[in-house]
Amino acid sequence: MILILGILGLLLSLYALYIEKRAEKQKGYKAACDFNNKMSCTKAFTSKYGKTFGLPNSVYGMAFYLLIIILSFFNQVRIIQVLAFLAVLGSCCLAYMLYVKLRDVCIVCTAIYIVNILLLILSFRM
């Protein structure tokens, strides 16, 4: 199950990067997850909170989920637990920025937060 969540997180992160890059190139781009001004993935990914140290957060997500996938093959439960805990902490910070600062609901972001919570829960059940 950890492997499946890692793959799902990787796919969500890839989609997030795709949206951000497409929005940078095409003015007025509307992603499939953009429903209105209060429910917009593009708004979240292109905001000032969408990057950390100059890189899109989705790039860090892709690296994280690739690492989780690799670690799951080697049954490195303790490392996965620590990484999942850190991911949930990061998700809490990003969720605060999204829901409170931006006053936005991003379905892709929320799905990633859920994947991270499930990774943490399942890593302790291994």
pLDDT of residue 53 exceeding 90: yes
Q: Mean pLDDT over all residues of the chain?
A: 97
pLDDT of residue 46 exceeding 90: yes
Does the pTM surpass 0.85? The reply is yes
Looking at residue 126, its pLDDT comes to 79
CATH code at position 102: 1.20.1440.130
Question: What is the DSSP annotation of 95-112?
Answer: HHIIIIIS----HHHHHH
Contacts of 51-60 with CB under 8 Å at 24 or more apart are 56/16, 56/17, 56/20, 57/16, 57/94, 58/13, 58/14, 58/16, 58/17, 58/20, 59/13, 59/17
Determine the structural domain holding residue 113 and report its residue range: 2-123
Looking at residue 71, its pLDDT comes to 98
